[in-house]
Copies of this chain bind each other. A is one copy, B any other.
Amino acid sequence: MDEKKALELSREVAKRVLKAVNSLPLERRGEFFAFGKSSVTKLVDKVAEDAALEVLRKEKLRILSEECGYVGEGDVFVALDPLDGTFNAVRGIPIYSVSLCFSDSEKFGDAFFSYVFNLCSRDEYYAGEMAFKNEKEIKVGGKENLEEINAVVYYPDRPLPFKRIRALGSAALETCFVAEGIFDCFIDLRGMLRIFDVAGGICILERAGGVAVDERGNSLKNKRFEISERINVVASNKILCKKLLELIV
């Protein structure tokens, strides 16, 4: 599979997920849906995943997704978050997205294409060699001074020197916001994120010139597409990243 085919597939996924989510009235999105023996999810997560898998399962892909775990067989691995920002989607807060990351192995470091689609504004982010928003190349911002930065932080546990702090509720989109330079960093040290939450957005951020590491400064490239591991993320431009690591340790 090449970038072109991955983009085509991703767009079809986005189209189907958008339709599925928008077909579900706001008041029904948060209903619980039981599946398997002991699993429960929100109805909106279920319809989003079903819509995404309907497209992806036609291809030879090994797909990792939140509700279903690994499904499918193939040489190309996909980390899928069918709906990143469920809390917002259920409440009508217009910040939620679908995220995909295609890799030649189960290692995040072998990713060759990533895609994030804002299901409200319909902005499209993707990255192969380079990163794009709505077909226009994007780059991370260049701010290096902690006092000047606009930061996304989950959650501050001490006073921080940043100019602004936000937490908008969709890691996939927020990492894309850093990739396009409208925020300067994304920090989540709660030990809550899983690879499919952030693989798409982080890959785009890296191709836009940024860097993403864990709380010890280790690259996330060695992370595997697997469902149980929880990861911490500090992502920004390279110089700022070093300063952020010094600040938070």
Contact = CB atoms under 8 A, between A and B. Distances in A.
A165 interface: yes
A125 B173 CA distance: 27
A94 B95 CA distance: 8
Contact of A165 (B93, B94, B155, B159): B155
A2 interface: no
A120 interface: yes
A121 interface: yes
A94 to B, nearest CB: 4
A160 interface: yes
The main secondary structure of chain A at its interface with chain B is loop
Interface in A133-172: 150, 154-160, 164-169
B94 A182 contact: no
A156 B155 CA distance: 7
Given A93-B182, A156-B155, A168 B165 contact: no
A70 interface: no
Nearest to A156: B156
A87 B168 contact: no
**Nearest 9 pairs of A and B residues by beta carbon:** A91-B182, A94-B94, A156-B156, A157-B159, A155-B165, A166-B167, A167-B167, A155-B156, A94-B121
Given A94-B121, A168-B168, 13 more contacts: A87-B164, A91-B182, A92-B123, A92-B182, A93-B95, A94-B120, A95-B168, A154-B165, A155-B165, A156-B157, A165-B167, A166-B169, A168-B169
